[in-house]
Amino acid sequence: MDSALDRRTFVGYAGIGAGALILGGVPVDPGLARRRKRRNRLPLARGGRFPQGVAAGEPAPNGMTLWTRLAGPKRDRRVILEVARDPDFRRVVLRKNVRASAKRGHTVETRVRGRAFKPGAEYWYRFETRERSSPVGRFRTLRPPDSAEPTRVAFFSCQDFQAGYFGAHGAIAREEVDVVVCLGDYIYERNFYEGPRRDTTGPNRDGEVQTLDEYRRKYRLYRSDADLRAMHAAHPFMAIWDDHEVEDNYAGTLPGEATKQVRVPFLDRRRNGYRAFYEFMPFGPISGRPLRGDDLYRTLRVGANAELFLLDQRQYRDDQPCNDEFTTVCPEAENTPRNYLGRRQLDWLKDGLRRSDARWKIVGNQLMVMSIDVPPFQNFNKDSWDGYGVERRELLEHVQNRGIADVTFITGDIHTFFAGEVGTNGRGPGSVATEFVGGSVTSLGIPEVIKDISGAPLTPEQIELLTQNIEVANPHIKYDEQQARGYGILEASATELRVTFKAVDALQRTSEARVLQTFRVAAGNPRVEVGA
């Protein structure tokens, strides 16, 4: 909502420099003071708009990263951030000047922290120009690491703009959660699916983006969705990328070869995709330095019951084996060493799981760690952990041999809801961890993509047969639902993990969610109880 700034607010701005330091508890140093003085000399933006809304992310017990984008100015401008303990902004705890940089597409990210922010407390925030205010966002700081309260996490992935509406995000906005996690494919770099909406980004208006400006336009299109903006305004957010933030099925420095007309060398395109991702996600500077690619894998401790490990399964991997062919017999997928996380990230994950004293170790995972075999022991998808069996065994044998209890994977990518148990080879019968795959927000699933021999869509009977075949060939998979779209809610307590899969009709403008299935995992026992 736009609002003119009153005299009382302008008087408050006179003390921004000192007030922000006192209220934020930030140590004073001459360099910081000089940078703040230069920022304050920037003209306060006149007019301007905030069409992509606001977002909060990277939560901590005493802080948060806050984000917006200012549309309108051509040059760098200053906006004012205001954070309060109430939605009417009567109890303001922090005001500060923030730069909207033209080099960053006028996106704004700033880290707020310090004594003004209490663990587990609720705050409201907004950004302001001389004449206008952004929408108001809300966030809750994390509880301290020793808090015994249950942790609640919402997770989603795969939201092709054309394939449907983002009603799942409207439903997530109403959930009571500590953090929302995107497990990849926040955008799609080109149009893959037909649906009720049109994506005309790209120079040919075909949805294909490759330059930095084109990726920025793509993010602006996605953030034009009111339900997506509502989710960001309601909860702290963390994200990892998968492939579509750059190019379908790319591997490390190698393109995925899905692009129809290559206009930009792949490494330049990857750099553009990464930069736009960081610009539009509420990361903020870490320890005062710019973000790098390896900042993507990181941890988040949420009370005593959960530590979240977020991975990067694209940037450091070797090429997929056997030309990434589906259902091809491929011994090298299981037996040939190849990087997936890469040595540095894999060692970081193994060490973090070993050291963690949280009850539940939750691994945010772009692609399935459970094997999907069709037929038995012939893996289906070489782009997932199934294509990198040596590294998968090293990780899961580490979990087994070190006696690391209560590891669960939350996963995106495959546009299908799965739940099951993870053996050291991705199968069973032994289980060292559990996995929950949260479907997709809109992107089409296996039944819509696979055609029968005649090229026609699968019938309901054929879909049922496919489901039965997957269950027979993969007894470690305890649940699969291939047609619904939606998200997952995970709740971690001292005694159990509960997961709920929820569905929203992506072909209608609705945010009404229904429960697909519920699951329970007892502490100390890596087995999935369905319907518990």
Q: Look at residue 454 in the predicted model and tell me its pLDDT.
A: 61
The 10 Å Cβ neighbour count of residue 192 is: 18
- Is 404 or 2 the better-scoring residue by pLDDT? 404
Residue 10 CA from chain centroid, whole number: 37
Decide whether 7-140 matches 151-185+289-530 in CATH topology. Answer: no
**Domain residue ranges in the chain:** 7-140, 151-185+289-530
pLDDT band per the 50, 70, 90 thresholds, residue 23 = very low
Burial 443-452 (b: 16+ CB within 10 A, else e): bbbbbbeeee
Instruction: Please state, in angstroms and rounded to a whole number, the distance separating the CA atoms of residues 482 and 529.
Output: 20
Please give the CATH architecture assigned to the domain spanning 151-185+289-530. 4-Layer Sandwich (3.60)
Q: For residue 205, what are the contacts with CB-CB under 8 A and spacing of at least 6? A: none
Q: pLDDT tens digits for 446-486?
A: 777 776 556 677 788 888 888 788 888 899 999 999 989 99
Q: Of the CATH numbers 3.40.630.10, 2.60.40.380, 3.40.50.1000, 2.40.10.120, which one belongs to the domain with range 7-140?
A: 2.60.40.380
N-term to C-term CA, the chain: 44
Beta bridge partners of 63: 60, 113
Weakest mean pLDDT among 6-15, 74-83, 284-293: 6-15
What value does the mean pLDDT take over residues 347-366? 98
% of the chain exceeding 90 in pLDDT: 78
Instruction: Please state, in angstroms and rounded to a whole number, the distance separating the CA atoms of residues 83 and 265.
Output: 43
Model-wide pTM > 0.85: yes
